[in-house]
Amino acid sequence: MNVYGLIGYPLSHSFSKKYFTEKFEQENIAATKYELFEIRDISDFPKIIANNPNLRGLNVTIPYKEAVIKYLDDVAESAKKINAVNVIKIGKNGKMIGYNSDYYGFKNSLFRFLPENYKGIKALVLGSGGAAKAVKAVLEDLQIPYLVVSRKQDPSTITYEAVTEEHVKEYKLVINTTPIGMYPNVKDSPYLPYSSYTAEHFFYDLVYNPQETLFMMKGKARGAKTKSGLEMLHLQAEKAWEIWNS
Ligand SMILES: NC(=O)c1ccc[n+]([C@@H]2O[C@H](COP(=O)([O-])OP(=O)(O)OC[C@H]3O[C@@H](n4cnc5c(N)ncnc54)[C@H](OP(=O)(O)O)[C@@H]3O)[C@@H](O)[C@H]2O)c1
């Protein structure tokens, strides 16, 4: 039996367990299961590894994407850059290597969303948490200049109240990396001057539940193209599977 799983806390709403369990069934992947390992403290991680000798791979979610790194034997380049691991491959010899498939998922999904001639576009990144790190790394690699909007006053970011008409004109791609608008708070949207947006804009929401957020609806109402986080979620999950089986 090959075992895959998820570590994090809390794990009540796990997309991954449902996704991989259905995948194993639909693709007739035998003798394989996906388990949840809800741990209250990352110091319990070595126990999970020791007690589950058939573990071949793990997904990592909040709040351990950074804290797990010190337990790994090696970390792939993109995960190092972001300083966050969301996939661990466990070799038969027990060697553990960390990867970041959010980086891959976002990059590929953004490619599908933007027009071919996206060069010259600039991005407004809403939020500065874990997901924003992967988003920023992708934007840097694609040479898309960006400005971060945060609730915090920081020399490198601006606040929501400081977003002007000029920013709207300059930053045609708007990426929501905050949980605002996520179920059950579906009536919330990031604070932006929505009436100034146009059909030249692109609204990308990392939130995947609901599939169409209020942020996306407000962009769409102004003619902007919109994209939900669902595709990124599927792409990062498939990338994890590919990493575990490579
Ligand atoms: N589609 C995918 O595959 C995928 C992958 C990863 C994450 N996500 C989604 O992305 C979202 C963020 O995930 P995360 O792990 O980055 O979460 P996080 O670290 O908890 O939060 C992200 C950032 O959002 C801002 N924020 C949080 N609560 C806010 C509020 N009430 N009002 C305004 N800003 C707020 C904060 O930035 P400031 O302090 O700078 O304001 C925070 O650092 C979640 O909805 C998650 O489901 C999707």
Can you give the pLDDT at residue 153?
85
Residue 103: both structure tokens together:
């980086």
Can you give the pLDDT at residue 162?
97
Residue ranges making up the domain that contains 47: 2-99
Q: pLDDT of 122-161, one tens digit each? A: 999 999 988 999 999 999 999 999 999 999 989 999 999 9
Specify whether 94 is located in the same domain as 112: no
Q: Where are the alpha helices (DSSP H) in 70-115?
A: 77-82, 101-113
Beta strand 157-158 with 173-176 is unpaired
Cα 16 to Cα 135: distance, rounded to the nearest angstrom: 20
Tell whether 237 is covered by a domain. Answer: no
Can you give the pLDDT at residue 169?
98
Specify whether 114 is located in the same domain as 35: no
**pTM, rounded to two decimals:** 0.93
Q: Which residue, 82, 84, 54, 50, is CA-closest to 69?
A: 84
* Amino acid symbol at 71: Y
CA of 128 to the centre of ligand 1 (A): 7
Residue 28: both structure tokens together:
């007739």
Write the CATH number for 110.
Answer: 3.40.50.720
Write the CATH number for 30.
Answer: 3.40.50.10860
Q: Which residues pair with 126 in a beta bridge?
A: 149, 176
Cα 127 to Cα 33: distance, rounded to the nearest angstrom: 35
Q: Would you say residue 244 has pLDDT above 90? A: yes
Is the beta carbon of 150 within 6 A of some atom in ligand 1?
yes
Structural domain ending residue among the three candidates 82, 99, 116: 99
Structural domain ending residue among the three candidates 80, 99, 118: 99
pLDDT band at 14 (very low <50, low <70, confident <90, very high): confident
Nearest CA, atom 19, ligand 1: 129
The three-class DSSP label of residue 72 is coil
Is the beta carbon of 130 within 6 A of some atom in ligand 1?
yes
Q: Would you say residue 13 has pLDDT above 80? A: no
Concerning whether 65 is annotated as a catalytic residue, the answer is yes
CA 125 to chain centre: 13
